[in-house]
Amino acid sequence: MMNKIRVLIVDDSAFIRKVLKDILESDQSVEVIAAAKNGKEAVDFLTRQEVDVITLDVEMPVMNGIDTLKEIMSFKPTPVVMLSSLTNEGADMTFKALDLGAVDFVAKPTNIFKMSSSDIQDDIITKVKEAAKVKTKKMSLKTVTEYIPKEPMESSRNLKPIPRDRRCEDVKKIIAIGTSTGGPRALQEVISNVSGKIDAPVLVVQHMPKGFTKSLAERLNGLSQLTVKEAEDGEPLCNGTVYIAPGDRHIEIKRIATGKYSIKLSDGPKVSGHKPSVDFMFQALSESTISDVIAVVMTGMGSDGTKGIVSLKNSKKSYNIAEDESTCVVFGMPKAAISTGQIDKIVPLGKIAMELNKIMGV
């Protein structure tokens, strides 16, 4: 008989603890072995017991989620799935948690009674089961502190204006990146190291709920030579700008004139189980008049992007890159893309930006 995934729930709400336990144990492969009402209780429990996955609330009394995560990662690294509120502060804390080594997060609905909706149940179960496969690394407290990127200066939280020499009239190439679990940290590594001189726009699909993608864009904007923003429907597509698809919209481009395009966002059904979808973005680019696409599939669970990679290659207009297994938090998406035989190069995370700069001739 297969061993069950042993889960520790950490949340200050008795109601949420009960709901999470019921949701997780509705799956035969999961067992909730304990529940703690704050971080101190959780850390004390971990000194005595082994667990496979921890669900950890961001906001708690006594010891909050961030301090608890630091403690866990410094003395007993364990895969952690954060539970975060759908607020700006909640999003900022979530990104800090992902920087510190949390595998993934689930957004708590504003109305906690909606925790039992089928979509949220599926999300929680899937992410906990996927987290159980991840090998976490031990960090010293010093390393943990150093690992968190410096917060951008307050003024840099405002989007950088597009410099005058950034042309929006002569778009010939597009870089398109798709990622999921582990994506925020992976994007930080890549986007912050892509040269500000690249003569192409960058489209990004990161599987993430509505509200979090804007915080992600602001965070990356403060760390990058490029302008990074959450995409807006109808805005011009400009070289040297990164457009992150909003958490509840598909992204594609619309031709306005020769070499001139705009962003098109759509509210259609999920594609490959997601909205935004990497497959949707790649497929749309394969059918566009853009003649040169550099497609990148990075860490993430599932196989979103695989069909799109094939479409791009069949259109004879793409150079396809997949992240190497050695640096993926979850190898699902890159593995599925590689299995098609349509990937041109497999690159570890730390060298993806270098590869993009080389392709772009900068």
**Residue 207 among the catalytic residues:** yes
Kindly name the residue from 11, 57, 207, 215 that is annotated as catalytic.
207
Q: What ranges in the chain are assigned the alpha helix state H?
A: 14-24, 39-46, 65-75, 88-99, 118-131, 141-147, 183-191, 212-221, 278-286, 306-314, 332-338, 349-359
Q: How far apart are CA 178 and CA 342, in angstroms?
A: 15
Using CB atoms within 10 A of its CB, is residue 42 exposed (0-12), middle (13-18) or buried (19+)? buried
Here the tokens at position 78 are 């364990």
In three-state secondary structure terms, 323 is strand
DSSP letters spanning 328-347: -SS-HHHHHHHTTT--SEEE
**Residue 180 among the catalytic residues:** yes
What residues pair up with 84 in beta bridges, in sequence order?
Answer: 107
Kindly name the residue from 11, 84, 85, 180 that is annotated as catalytic.
180
- Contact present, 44 and 90 (Cβ < 8 Å): no
Return the CA Rg of the chain. Answer: 20
For 226, phi and psi rounded to 5 degrees?
A: -85, 160
Q: What stretch of H or E contains 33?
A: strand 30-36
Kindly name the residue from 11, 99, 123, 304 that is annotated as catalytic.
304
Annotated active-site positions, please?
Answer: 180, 207, 304
